[in-house]
Amino acid sequence: MNVREVLAEIYRRNRVLALAGWFNLLLLVLMFCVAPFDARTVLGLNLWIKPMKFAVSFTVYLWTLAWLLSYLPRYPRMVRLISWGSAIVALGEMFCILSQAARGVKSHFNFATPYDSMIFTVMGLLIIFNTLLVALVLLLFFLRTAALPPAYLWGIRFGLLLFLLASLEGYAMISHGAHTIGMADGGPGLPFVNWSTRAGDLRAAHFLGFHALQLLPLAGYAVSRHQGHATRGQRVALVSALAVVYLATFSALFWQAMNGQPLLNLGAIF
């Protein structure tokens, strides 16, 4: 499939999530046009950088979910609930993040005023709801799905499970009141993502865990198609091993951040 065919297939599989993803891309384009003309910063970065990152992230997430939910034809009501719920969460989160950016203030961990606290609380409630929706998707994939190669199916299951772990890791940020361990949020960071180069940063593990939702199903799909004469059991074992390595890497990044250690020792550069 080329890119156009993939996008058409996503729309065919789930119009709600496909359109919600396109809306986030539209927001991305608008912010990209506005950012060069707005000199305001938050934590040392142009204040539109963070909303742009979230717009990209939500687009990828919504389109991935659109693809995966098509494998649950036995649960049309559940799929509708998950689709609309996920779209509402994404749009609600983007509204909160964009509105705070327009005001020139932080969206996360901002308790400066009652309004700021309310915005962050709403965002937290939306994410809790989304976590419950993903947990429901995982449960359905352990019940009855469309006929899928076992390696691919387990790749999807492992991807959903790692995504949930990354969601739970997000609550560590909330309990800490920041994403940086060992210093205040902000300061020197890696380009664009701005992960701290001076202290621990929980966002690295968060990012890796979330994108297990794409990488592990893709690995399962590839293994199911290109492992020659390997048995089904061997293919599932290979995908399981990849998931264990992924989990170990996620855990190592989380441990590293919680101990106040930067992802890379780039202090001399940044």
Predicted local confidence at residue 169, as pLDDT: 85
Predicted local confidence at residue 265, as pLDDT: 58
Cβ neighbors of 142 (< 8 A, separation 6 or more) are 157
* Interior/surface letters 234-256, b for 16+ CB within 10 angstroms, e for the rest: ebbebbeebbeebbeebeebbeb
Q: Could you tell me if 86 and 17 are in contact, meaning their C-beta atoms sit under 8 angstroms apart? A: yes
Q: Which residues pair with 45 in a beta bridge?
A: 42
Predicted local confidence at residue 93, as pLDDT: 97
Q: Could you tell me if 14 and 85 are in contact, meaning their C-beta atoms sit under 8 angstroms apart? A: no
Predicted local confidence at residue 190, as pLDDT: 78
10-residue averages of pLDDT along the chain (270 residues): 92 98 98 94 89 96 98 96 98 96 91 94 95 97 88 97 91 80 79 81 91 97 84 93 96 90 59
Instruction: For residue 140, give both structure tokens.
Output: 């359905």
Predicted local confidence at residue 35, as pLDDT: 94
Which parts of the chain are beta strand (E)?
41-42, 45-46, 180-181, 200-201
What pTM was estimated for this model as a whole? 0.91
Closest CA to 141 of 238, 232, 240, 75: 75
H helix runs in 35-149, sequence order: 49-69, 76-103, 114-141
